[in-house]
Amino acid sequence: MKKMLFILSVLVVASMVLAACGPSGPAECADELGCAEYGPDDPIRIASALVITGPDAQLGLDSQHGVEIAIAMRGDVAGHSVELQAEDDGCNAEGGQAAGQKIVSDPSIVAVVGTSCSGAGVPMSKVISEAGYVMVSPSNTAPSLTDPAQAFNPGYLRTAHNDKVQGAAMAKFAYEVLGLKTAAAIHDGDPYTEGLANAFRESFEGMGGKVVAFTAVSKGDTDMKPVLTAVAASEGGAPEFLFFPVFTAECAFLAKQTKEVSGLENTIAAAADGCFSAAAAEAIGEAGNGMYFSGPDLSFSGDTYVTFKQQYNTLFGSDPISVFHAHAFDATNMIFDCIESVGVTGADGSLSVGRAAMRTCLYATSGFQGITGTLTCNQYGDCADPKISVSILENSEYKRIWP
């Protein structure tokens, strides 16, 4: 009996030693937040959580196309193919929460590209952060998401600009370039629109302008005339400049109805990147002539963008349909770079990617050469190389005019 035990224990110890240094075992995980593990033939799985249904679907589909092109152009990552699980953020808090829960219940997902809308990003970044995952948003621009005093959660990063930059750019354009002294802003209660409208107000007032009305509509509203009538009748007089950084449907209603409200006939209307797409230009139609739009500067140069656009046309049959495809492409490639640098490949070809290591790697991204510029992340996840431009809409064509 004693002899048998001895032999057994020798065998156990021997097999453990063999497993530790032998050439056949899978990669070990020593990460404090756990690892995403893939067998030798398994694809690496990433998720996207973008708005792909509902009225703002164009915005999210465009970004999703960016992710798909990044996967197609990259080929294998760390010796594995890549599989995308596409979720819908619904462009609202409930959708972000649901998509987040679904993603963190799947241990094979290593990282998330999302969300499209800041409103969905707030709850989702909490879910993702608590589960130890990591997300990179291509289009959340609300200042609160990377503000540790507000909605920042570790594990959240973004390649989109912070709206403090965009709001200030629009205010500067209105006050200095157009020379207008009174303005009004309308948002729809979404963190993105409210944050941007607030950033605009602060900058415009900081430069010496007067914001005569600062109000809001609701998502899904169609009749904006009561709000606009109230804005036209505000105490400081009808504004010379009206900024409504809302999404396509509401933006088009506001653009059309502004011209119909007494007192606002000569007011210059402006919107932002949530309403900056070919589809939005078509929806607004002739009412948009002379309207201004701020957004990320899309005059990208470089060979990657040329190839990207060709791929977009081949795979999806059109030019990019909204503005954040390149940001999604860069976000995906940042994730791939980090998988390659922190992933541990076992001798059998299996791959283990530590989640804490993934986070550290992404926050340490520095000098990353993407389509949208040279990206360097700060400790709160702002990675963008923000370039904001203002375009004017003429006959359903956007013309970049400033800077």
Rounded least distance, CB 349 to another protein, Å: 41
Residues 6+ away with beta carbon under 8 Å from 303: none
Q: For residue 290, count CB atoms less than 10 angstroms from its CB and return exposed for 0-12, middle for 13-18, buried for 19 or more.
A: exposed
Indicate the residue among 237 and 403 with the shorter CB distance to another protein. 237
- For another protein, which is the closer residue by CB, 257 or 350? 257
> Using CB under 8 A, which of the segments 28-36, 176-184, 282-290, 385-393 binds another protein?
282-290
Number of H helices and E strands in the chain, helices first, is: 12, 17
Asked if 235 is part of the footprint of another protein (rule: CB under 8 A), the reply reads yes
Applying CB under 8 A, does 256 fall inside the site for another protein? Answer: yes
Candidate segments 17-25, 75-83, 250-258, 340-348, binder of another protein by CB under 8 A = 250-258
> Quick check: 115 and 156 in contact, CB under 8 A?
no
- Among 222, 314, 360, 374, indicate the residue that binds another protein (CB under 8 A): 222
Q: Which of 118, 144, 203, 248 binds another protein (CB under 8 A)?
A: 248
Q: Are strands 268-271 and 241-243 parallel, antiparallel or unpaired?
A: parallel
Nearest distance in Å: CB 184, another protein: 12
Closer Cβ to another protein, 168 or 249, answer by number: 249
397 phi, psi to nearest 5 deg: -120, 135
What is the C-alpha separation between 227 and 254, in angstroms, rounded?
10
Short-list 277, 220, 229, CA closest to 253: 220
- Residues 135-194 interacting with another protein (rule: CB under 8 A): 187-189
Work out whether 226 is an interface residue with another protein (CB under 8 A): yes
Nearer to another protein, 165 or 291 (CB): 291
Nearer to another protein, 180 or 279 (CB): 279
Contacts of 63 (CB under 8 A, 6+ apart): 48, 50, 113, 116, 138, 139, 322, 324, 325, 327, 328
Q: Which of 47, 49, 57, 246 binds another protein (CB under 8 A)?
A: 57
Please report whether residue 253 would count as binding another protein according to CB under 8 A: yes
Q: Please report whether residue 318 would count as binding another protein according to CB under 8 A.
A: no
Considering only CA atoms, which of 112, 119, 96 is closest in space to residue 63?
A: 112
Determine the 3-state secondary structure of 259 from DSSP: coil
The only residue of 81, 262, 313, 379 in contact with another protein, by rule CB under 8 A: 262
Any contact of residue 319 with another protein (CB under 8 A)? Answer: no
The reply to whether omega before 115 is within 30° of 0 (cis) is yes
Q: Indicate whether 58 belongs to the interface with another protein (CB under 8 A).
A: yes
Please tell me the distance from the alpha carbon of residue 305 to that of residue 113, in angstroms, as a whole number.
Answer: 19
Tell me if 210 sits within 8 A of 201, measured CB to CB. no
Q: Does 218 bind another protein (CB under 8 A)?
A: yes
- Sole binder of another protein in the list 217, 264, 268, 390 (CB under 8 A): 217
Of 157-165, 219-227, 295-303, 305-313: span binding another protein (CB under 8 A): 219-227
CA dihedral (269, 271, 276, 278) in degrees, to 10, reads -30
DSSP assignment of 328-365: HHHHHHHHHHHHHHH-EE-TTS-EEEEHHHHHHHHHT-
Q: Which is nearer to another protein, 253 or 368 (CB)?
A: 253
102 in contact with another protein (CB under 8 A): no
Give the nearest distance from C-beta 235 to another protein in angstroms.
Answer: 7
**196-215 binders of another protein (CB under 8 A):** 214-215
> In this chain, which of 28, 76, 130, 260 binds another protein, going by CB under 8 A?
260
Asked if 397 interacts with another protein (CB under 8 A), we say no
- From candidates 11, 12, 19, 233, binder to another protein by CB under 8 A: 233
Measuring CA to CA, which residue among 159, 92, 90, 174 is closest to residue 324?
Answer: 159
Q: In whole angstroms, give the CA distance from residue 11 to residue 3.
A: 12
The residues of the shown chain that bind another protein, judged by CB under 8 A, are: 53-55, 57-58, 61, 187-189, 214-218, 220, 222-223, 225-227, 229-230, 233, 235, 248-249, 252-253, 256-257, 260, 262, 279-280, 282-287
